[in-house]
Every structure is written in structure tokens, then in C-alpha cells.
Structure 1
């Protein structure tokens, strides 16, 4: 089932499967990628309880090995609508015997979407409902149509960043992060978008404080901006070598296994730790014009 929320400017559609944002319309323009499987069959999956790929698609915790596909299982689970108004919807996913087969923690994941003015606010809450410390990663993966305008091409667009400063860049070797090869990414200026920009997979940056990432074009009044505060990583991605007409801006609280990963969850970098009965809260916003 798809839930629609809207105001006088913006309309968003959210699928109960995966609590996935599937449409964001304004100015008679569809800003969200429409999941053409020829390129990538998703719109904006929620990444939980892992971000990225694990070595051999598995991990171990307290001596037991668990299978886990890329980006975790939440994107394929059915969420329940807990609350809905014209401008807001709240969806929840609770741990179950099924989730415990691959992830041995008790949790409640709450995702809310709310339209306000020209923007959409996306909030996450993770509750540790168990008795033990919980380890998890979390991520957004929204994909935006590029070009947004008729008559423009993919290469007519560029990334702009605020604050306009260099950020630490984490390179990938295959699907795995190489933390020993970090460099300083030149996000102190605009970056022209091209398909070749993603030939080594996602561009991953460490981020601190308030950050905004915008996709726009000089000859267009339309743009997409994703903004957040205190989220540690962002991934910018479009599939390569496919010349896909979309780009993802992905706020992450975690990242893939490293090239030297031991496979032990207790040793995995980037994971969040939540004590019993504690709650983790975070959010980001998407603004379109």
C-alpha cells in the first residue's frame, strides 16, 4: 500500500514496503527516480541494520555467524503505519523471529515523513528494546531524476556543497572501504556531474555539523537539496558504466566493511552502539524547487 502526504506545494508517496519514498512531486515535476529496473529497481531504500556490503555477505557476533545482504533487510520488510495526517506519516518496523535469524537484536525502527513548505523532513528513531547493547548502522538512499528538465542532459548538472570546504574522502576497493587510503576531497568548489565521476563507485565523504548537498543546473530553475546536521557520512552515487538518469545523495550512519575487515560485528568501524532501553534519533530534509 502507498501512503500520500501533501501540502499546497509538495506531494510525497511512501510505500509501506520498506517505508520507501517513491515519489516527490512539485512544479508538475517528479523529482524521485522511478525505479526502472534496467538501471536500478529502487527509489529511496532505507538501509538498516547495515550500510553497504559485508565480506562474503555475512558477519559474526558473539561467535555465531549470520547471513546479511547488502544494506540490510529493512528495505524489503513491511512497515506498519502508526500515524497518518494529511502532511505526515509515521511507519514502524519491529524485530521478530524472522529478523532475529539474521540480526540478533530486539529493536523498534520508526520512520516518519512530513512535508513542510518546499521540503520533506525524514526522521529516524531506533529503539533498543532488548536487554543487551545493540550495534547497528542506518542510512538513507534517495535517488533523484537527473536531468530534471526537458532539454537538459545529465552533464548539464553539478553538485554544490555548503559549507564550501574540503571533506575527508573514503575510497572504495570494490565494495569495501579502504580507511588507510583516505584523501581530502575537493568539495570546496562545485563538481560538474558526469557518468565517469562514478567510475569507482560512490563518492563517500566524512561530514561534521551542518551540511547541504545540492544538484542543480545553470540553465534550470529546478534543483534538489539534501540537508542534515550531525550525520557522519554521505555517499554520492549513480551506477557505472550504465548511463543512468539519476543520482543518489545518501546520508549514512555507518559504511561498508573495510578491506581488512575481520567479519566480527564487535570490531566493525562505523557502527552505532545503543544501550538497552536507549533511543537513537536523527533526521535529514529534502528541498525541491
Structure 2
């Protein structure tokens, strides 16, 4: 099942499976989200919950007991319920169940709230701890922006001038090795060589927005005020770029496995809720 919302400038379509955005079109019917061709990557914009990235040995520990979670968690592979819909907004919900409690022993509700406002799509995450104990979690976004034509025609413009230090992945875990992403006037020309070692992982950034340029002109913009970390990723020869606002990231080799002690983890008190949002603007 899918749900479509629209306003005078944009339409957006969301699958109930994973509450995954799979289309943003302007009023000229131009598509801005990656089509999901499995020859490159069969997703469009999955939600990452209750972890972001990869756990060491895909395993974590709560109160001395081991649990397993796949890369980026399980929410992206589960069916969400449509709670509410208006012409320009839709609210999806995933609640803990017997199935989730086997992998993640916490009672929760995860809501994804999509809203169109002028030429922007806003995605708000609402995480509710419905249990009687603290709940450790991470959450993140993974939208793939379609880049038709020549990949080298595109560039990334960071909001602020800063040292862009990113961490290298080794066996899907964050290593201690870092590199500096070189810029000219905050702009990084795109080329596939940047991603030969997988994603660029920024634990912290002063920039809270990133503009994709096409032939030096603004194309799309991702704003992520509530997110301290960012991943940027594509696959060789793939006509898309993923701009990924994160609250959390993969384990390091030194990780003990205790989820409460995981670097970048959020801790939500019982009966409390947490919200964060980001937006994609068509320019």
C-alpha cells in the first residue's frame, strides 16, 4: 500500500512498508527521489531505527543478555499503520510487538510524520518510550536524491566553512582513521572516487544544511537542524546521492556491546517522547 500527499508545488508518495518515502515530484512531474533500481540499491529513503549503522558482530547487550540486530535496525522492513492523512500530510506508526521485543526488549511507538510546506517535504520522527525503563536508541534518515545525467555535474555545498573531518569504515564499523574533505568556498565536486571506501561519516558538523548543486546552480537542499551526525553515500556509477542525517552511527572496534554505553546513543526515559525532523527542499 502507498499514500500520496500533495500541495500546489509538490507531491510525495510513501510506502506503508517501512513508511518509506519513494517519490517527490514537482508540479512539472519531475522526480527527485531515487527509483530504487536493485542493480544499484533497492531502497529509496529508509528509516534507521533502533540503531544507525552496524553493530560489532551484529550483537549488543542489555542487562547481560545478548541480542542481534541487522545493519540500520528493523523498522525499515516492517509494515507501518497509517494513523492520519490530510491533503498535504500523513502520519505513520510502528509499535513494539512480540516480534520486535525478541530483537529489541523495549516497548515503543515510532511515528513518521510527513508534511509538505511550499517546496519542502518535512519528515518528523516521534519516538515514544511506552515502557517502564530507560530506552537506548538511535534514529536516522537515508534519503537518496536522484541525480539524472552526469554525476560529475553535481556538487555539495555545505552551509558553513569548517574542517570537514570524516571517519573511515572498516568492515562496516567506524575506525579511528579520518580524512579531511577538501572544499572550495564550502563546495565539494562530486565524483565516485570519494566513495571508494563506502560512506563518508561525519560524527559532528557545524553545518546544518547541505545543498546539492547541478552545474553550479542549487538543485535540492537537505536541512537537518536536530541531527549532529551525517552520512553521505552512493555506489559506483549509481545516479543518486544519499544525504543521511543521523542521531547515532556504527560501532567502533572498541565497543563493549553494552547498548547503554554505545557511542552516540540516545537514552529516552520511561513514558517520555523524543522528536527530530529534517527537510528536503526542491530548489
TM-score of the pair, normalised by structure 1: 0.93
Aligned residue for 2:281? 287
The reply on whether 1:50 has 2:47 as its aligned counterpart is: no
Q: CA deviation at 1:274?
A: 0.5
Query: In terms of mean alpha carbon deviation, does 186-195 or 68-77 score higher?
Result: 186-195
Q: Which structure 2 residues correspond to residues 87-98 of structure 1 after superposition, within 5 A?
A: 87-98=88-99
Give the aligned partner of residue 192 of structure 1: 189
More moved, 227-236 vs 185-194: 185-194
Residue equivalent to 2:105: 104
Q: Which runs of 4+ in 1 moved over 6 A?
A: none
Question: Which residue is 2:120 aligned to?
Answer: 119
Q: C-alpha distance in 2, partners of 1:195/1:210? A: 23
**1:251 counterpart residue number:** 245
The equivalent residue for 1:260 is: 254
Q: 2:234 aligns with which of 234, 238, 241?
A: 238
**Distance (whole Å) between structure 2 residues aligned to residue 90 and residue 124 of structure 1:** 10
**Which sections of structure 2, spanning at least 5 residues, go unmatched?**
none
**In 1, distance between residues paired with 2:136 and 2:270?**
11
- Post-superposition CA distance 1:53-84 (Å, at most 9, x none): 11222212111111111100000111111110
Q: 1:269 aligns with which of 247, 255, 263?
A: 263
Corresponding residue SS for 2:122: strand
Q: CA deviation at 1:230?
A: 3.1
Residue 223, structure 1, aligned to residue 219, structure 2: yes
| Correspondence for 1:278 | 272
Match in the other structure for 1:68:
69
3-state SS, counterpart of residue 123 of structure 1: strand
Contact 1:49 1:73 in 2 (8 A): yes
In the alignment, which of 200, 203, 228 is matched to residue 200 of structure 2? Answer: 203
| Equivalent pairs, count | 281
Q: 1:229: how far off?
A: 1.0
8 A contact 1:6–1:12 mirrored in 2: yes
Q: Distance in 2 between matches of 1:12 and 1:222?
A: 20
Confirm or deny that 1:162 pairs with 2:156: no
Equivalent residue of 1:30, what SS?
coil
Distance 1:11 1:258 in 2: 40
Separation in structure 1 between the aligned mates of residue 41 and residue 17 of structure 2, nearest angstrom:
17
For residue 208 of structure 2, give the secondary structure of its aligned residue in structure 1: strand
**Which digits, 9 at most, give the CA deviation of each residue in 1:160-211, with x for residues without a partner?**
1102322342222231112x33455445621110111101111111345661
On the 8 A contact 2:116/2:122 being kept in 1, the answer is yes
SS at match of 1:155: helix
- Pick which of 168-177 and 108-117 moved more: 168-177
- Between the aligned partners of 1:209 and 1:120, the Cα distance in structure 2 is 23
Matched residues in 2 for 1:194 and 1:176: separation?
A: 23
